[in-house]
């Protein structure tokens, strides 16, 4: 983490900082946490203070993947802290996503108006919307955008073809069965469409995918595995149990540990996979998020009693526990 609270390392600061922040939040860390609280607070402050007046962020990548990724992280941060300043920042970025949604239900780079529905970019928009909903953000049109996103993902589903495994996946910007099938399946699940035929056939198509660190699958294996792991977790049953037996031991085994290289002589661990090509922050955070799948989400086959109950964080300051109150002083 840099002095300004950001992470970079092969990508743009808004996206990489958001990935890292999501790892801490998924672990139950907030600014009130004893060990990692200052790290989390600095990361949140970086995102809020680098947000522009229109809700975007300084230093975004060319296609602005960092926009929905930062919106996702800020929404999660607000859900766990309920700090009004974070709410304002999260709602500004979520508003761009809602207003940038196409008539088809999809999104293109930069949340722009071009007639191009990009499953990869759409996936970050959908994750951000889900996090915003669960956090209780008050954006107008939020629920409608989530429902409409289902149509966008269906548009890129390979309905007219049956793959080798008697199923069909999701394409990149048109119908197809590609490595982005995990992204399509996960987002259909998150949007409440777990039982739709496209979701079920996508899960079936993913049965062919392997997790082999030494011989990775696809052009962007860590990126694909990030989505596939969550999709299979939500799918449950044998599809998850079989994947879980393989992916988790391999990630643990292939983590690179440097003894005494961290602060106060602590060990540090990271993952490196040259095939993905976005640097150590990228590969390490996505691998970390895979391992945190066990307690980041409710599986879609478990129905929460209500959204408020589902939104309650598993860790963080208790509502009536004054000693855990937090205050983030962010200059707008």
Contact 2, 14 (CB under 8 A): no
Nearest-angstrom CA–CA distance, 139 and 130: 12
pLDDT tops 80 at residue 116: yes
- What average pLDDT does this structure show over 238-249? 96
Could you tell me if residue 237 is left (phi over 0), alpha (psi between -120 and 50 degrees) or otherwise beta? left
Give the pLDDT band (50/70/90) at residue 277: confident
What is the CA 55 to chain-centroid distance, rounded? Answer: 19
Q: Are 58 and 52 in contact (CB under 8 A)?
A: yes
Per-residue pLDDT at 276: 77
Tell me the average pLDDT across 180-191: 97
Residue with tokens 């792991």: 229
What token pair was written down for 67? 């926009």
Q: Is the pLDDT at 206 greater than 60, yes or no? A: yes
Q: Give yes or no for residue 230 having a pLDDT over 70.
A: yes
pLDDT, residue 258, reads 87
Distance CA 319, CA 321 (A): 6
Q: In this predicted model, what pLDDT tens digit does every residue of 15-27 receive, in sequence order?
A: 999 999 999 999 9
Contacting residues for 91 by C-beta, under 8 A, at least 6 apart = 132, 137, 138, 139
Q: At 121, is the pLDDT very low, low, confident or very high (cuts 50, 70, 90)?
A: very high
Confidence of residue 305 (pLDDT cuts 50, 70, 90): very low
Q: Where are the domains of the chain?
A: 1-145, 156-301
Identify the pLDDT of residue 217: 86
- Whether 298 shows a pLDDT value over 80: the answer reads no
Query: Per-residue pLDDT for 312 more than 90?
Result: no
Does residue 250 have a pLDDT over 90?
Answer: yes
**pLDDT over 70 percentage in the chain:** 86
What is the mean pLDDT of the segment spanning 234-246?
95
Q: Is the pLDDT of residue 54 over 60?
A: yes
Section 64-88 average pLDDT: 97
- Rounded mean pLDDT, 291-302: 64
Q: Once rounded to an integer, what is the mean pLDDT over residues 97-125?
A: 97
Q: How far apart are CA 274 and CA 114, in angstroms?
A: 32
Q: Supply the pTM of this predicted model.
A: 0.89
Span 122-132, mean pLDDT? 97
What sign has the CA pseudo-torsion 84, 63, 22, 154? positive
- Under the banding of pLDDT at 50, 70 and 90, the label for residue 265 is confident
> What is the Cβ-side half-sphere exposure of residue 136, based on CA atoms within 13 angstroms?
16
How far is Cα 226 from Cα 223, in angstroms, rounded to an integer?
Answer: 5
Mean pLDDT score, 242-250: 97
pLDDT for position 320: 38
User: Where residue 323 falls among pLDDT bands split at 50, 70, 90?
Assistant: very low
Window from 46-50, 148-152, 240-244, 316-320 with minimum mean pLDDT: 316-320
Q: In the predicted model, what is the mean pLDDT of the chain?
A: 88
CATH architecture of 1-145: Alpha/alpha barrel (1.50)
């Amino acid at each position: 983490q840099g002095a300004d609270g950001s992470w970079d390392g092969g990508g743009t600061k808004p996206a990489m900082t958001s990935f890292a922040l999501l790892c801490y939040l998924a672990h139950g860390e907030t600014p009130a946490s004893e060990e990692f609280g200052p790290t989390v607070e600095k990361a949140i402050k970086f995102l809020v203070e680098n947000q522009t007046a229109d809700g975007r962020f300084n230093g975004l990548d060319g296609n602005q993947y960092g926009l929905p990724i930062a919106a996702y992280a800020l929404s999660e941060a607000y859900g766990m802290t309920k700090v009004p300043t974070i709410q304002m920042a999260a709602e500004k970025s979520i508003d761009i996503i809602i207003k940038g949604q196409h008539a088809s239900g999809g999104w293109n780079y930069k949340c722009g108006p071009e007639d191009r529905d990009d499953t990869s970019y759409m996936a970050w928009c959908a994750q951000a919307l889900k996090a915003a909903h669960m956090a209780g953000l008050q954006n107008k049109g939020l629920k409608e955008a989530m429902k409409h996103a289902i149509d966008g993902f269906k548009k890129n589903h390979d309905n007219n073809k049956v793959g080798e495994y008697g199923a069909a996946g999701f394409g990149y910007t048109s119908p197809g069965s590609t490595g982005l099938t995990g992204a399509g399946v996960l987002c259909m699940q998150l949007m409440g469409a777990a039982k739709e035929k496209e979701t079920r056939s996508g899960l079936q198509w993913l049965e062919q995918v392997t997790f082999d660190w030494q011989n990775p699958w696809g052009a962007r294996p860590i990126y694909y595995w990030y989505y596939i792991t969550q999709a299979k977790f939500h799918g449950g049953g044998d599809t998850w149990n079989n994947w879980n037996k393989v992916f988790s031991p391999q990630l643990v085994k292939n983590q690179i540990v440097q003894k005494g290289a961290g602060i106060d002589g602590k060990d540090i661990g990271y993952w490196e996979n040259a095939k993905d090509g976005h640097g150590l922050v990228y590969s390490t955070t996505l691998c970390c998020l895979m391992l945190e799948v066990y307690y980041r989400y409710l599986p879609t086959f478990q129905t929460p009693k209500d959204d408020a109950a589902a939104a309650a964080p598993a860790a963080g300051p208790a509502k009536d526990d004054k000693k855990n109150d937090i205050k983030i002083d962010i200059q707008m």
